[in-house]
Amino acid sequence: MAVTVRTNSTRFYLRTILLAASIVSNLLPGAGGPAFAGQAPGTGTVGSVHDMNTFAFVFNDSMGRVCAFCHVPHHANSEAGTLWAKPLDQQASGLRPYTWTAPENLRISQELDPLVGPSRLCMTCHDGAIAIDPHGTKMPAEKTISTDLNITHPIGFSYDEAVTARGSNELADKNEQYATAVTPSETPGVYNQVTREAKIRIVDLLYQGEILTCVSCHDVHNKNNVSPDPGHNYNFLLWAKEENSLICLSCHKK
């Protein structure tokens, strides 16, 4: 079907749609097509917790733009890629990455830069140091991680090495899908039975198909990828539910 574009405004919005698809694809280098699977129709960044125009502490964009807080079509930060609008702390000054304590984990190598891949982009807001709008507003303390990554789940390590070090009895194969349900085991020593019917696999959200990053758990471009069970109200932009720790059981066998 031929489409006639009649106005500059129409052309702008068509380009915007194509740009948004390109941004998601570039943020997830190991993902490819399947990364779009599982996102509920009608959701997206507009109106989500990543729509900065919805927060009172932010100087809202005068034209109501949403993507512009992080992405720009022109004069982007070439070091970051993905048309990134914000500065990056390449040295991650004062960064304290997670340190392994369990003996089995000592065999898992970590990147010299634990913020490798899209994680560094996340931290341009969530480190609490870089402004999220042109007026110098910074993320409130309750929404920041700071540069002390010892208080978070480890990132920037090889999932493949983790499976080798911990064993397939503890970590799921990366080609497995994210968890959608669990049947508790009543037998001592027998793990819970996890149902994996999500359209997305673990490997789809590993940087370069191997490295675990922030986006391995968080779907940053969607309003609510998985809805909480009735009676619950949360939105952490997760690829699997909080109920029954399904986000945890997607990787960890317990």
H helical segments located in 28-141: 119-126
pLDDT reported for residue 135: 79
For residues 132 and 81, is the Cβ–Cβ distance under 8 A?
no
Residue at 134: amino acid letter: P
Q: How far apart are CA 90 and CA 80, in angstroms?
A: 10
Residue 91 lies in a domain: no
Q: Whose CA is closest to 205, among 114, 119, 77?
A: 119
The residue whose two tokens read 């909080």 is 242
pLDDT reported for residue 205: 96
Cα–Cα distance list, 144 to 70, 85, 135, 210, 233 (Å):
16, 19, 19, 26, 21
Residue 250 lies in a domain: yes
Residue 92 lies in a domain: no
SS3 54: helix
Q: Regarding beta strands 211-212 and 157-158, do their DSSP bridges make them parallel or antiparallel, or are they unpaired?
A: antiparallel
pLDDT reported for residue 94: 64
Residue 207 lies in a domain: yes
What is the pTM for the complete model shown?
0.77
Residue 94 lies in a domain: no
Q: What is the pLDDT along the chain (254 residues), one digit of tens a residue?
A: 433 333 343 343 334 333 444 434 444 444 333 333 344 544 788 888 889 998 888 888 989 999 999 999 999 988 888 899 888 866 555 678 888 988 989 999 888 788 899 998 898 888 877 778 877 888 888 888 777 888 889 999 999 999 999 999 999 999 999 999 999 888 887 888 999 999 899 999 999 999 999 999 998 888 767 888 899 988 888 999 999 999 999 999 98
Residue 242 lies in a domain: yes
Range of the domain at 180: 1-86+100-254
pLDDT reported for residue 241: 93
How many structural domains compose the chain?
1
